[in-house]
Amino acid sequence: MLNERIKSLNALQNVLRKAEDYPSAIAPETPYLEFEHKLREIGLERGWGNNAERVSEMIHHVLDLLEAPEPRTPETFLGRIPMVVYILDQVRALESEMLLRINHQGLYIIPRILIVTRFLPDAVGTTCGVRLEKVYGTEHSYILRVPSQSEKGIVRKWISRFEVWLYLDTYAEDVANELSIEFHSAP
């Protein structure tokens, strides 16, 4: 949302004060692309909104956050930013949407959603050592855990995501095999 022209918090505040008048001086529905160059010149990149009204609102939210924070200001601001949602929340939404669409099509299909992740038999106090686990709050979604293999056998403990690549070749094959077992056919 910022480019190299903004090098400090103080610079950001100054730019936002300059920028706050521009979008509010044009028609609210003016597409961002029509005034993008003006904002880019002062240090603002895409991500502030898709039209003048949204950009103006976002600029005001950020200024409020920086200059006069109230308890609800961070919540309002964060509610406007697209964020990655935890995978289990996404799966619940996916299952719900799939069931709705299947129903609307007049089909009688039961979907099966599998989240594939690593099987870690020595992960004490977690369910990471359970091969197949139902996702709480769903009817047809499961977590399928597949072990990573090395020449020494199953990787039993958690390893950093930066070390996982060492096992990806065999892991991909193992996942395909496990999916075939679960779906009773090739994935």
- pLDDT classification of 91: cutoffs 50, 70, 90: very high
DSSP collapsed to 3 states, 16-85: HHHHCHHHHCCCCCCEHHHCHHHHHHHCECCCCCCEHHHHHHHHHHHHHHHHCCCCHHHHHHHHHCCCCC
84-88, 129-133, 136-140, range with the lowest pLDDT: 84-88
For range 102-109, the mean pLDDT: 90
Q: Region 75-89: what's the mean pLDDT? A: 68
Q: What pLDDT, in 10s, does the model give residues 58-74?
A: 888 888 888 876 666 66
Confidence of residue 80 (pLDDT cuts 50, 70, 90): low
pLDDT cut 70: percent of the chain above it:
90
Give the mean model confidence (pLDDT) for residues 102-113: 91
Task: Please tell me the distance from the alpha carbon of residue 131 to that of residue 147, in angstroms, as a whole number.
Answer: 9
Overall fold of domain 9-80? Four Helix Bundle (Hemerythrin (Met), subunit A) (1.20.120)
Q: What is the mean pLDDT of residues 5-30?
A: 87
pLDDT score recorded for residue 76 = 66
pLDDT at 177: 94
The pLDDT of 146-165, averaged and rounded, is 85
Model confidence at 174: pLDDT above 80: yes
Q: What is the pLDDT of residue 141?
A: 96
CATH 1.20.120.1230 residue window(s) in the chain? 9-80
More confident residue, 6 or 80: 6
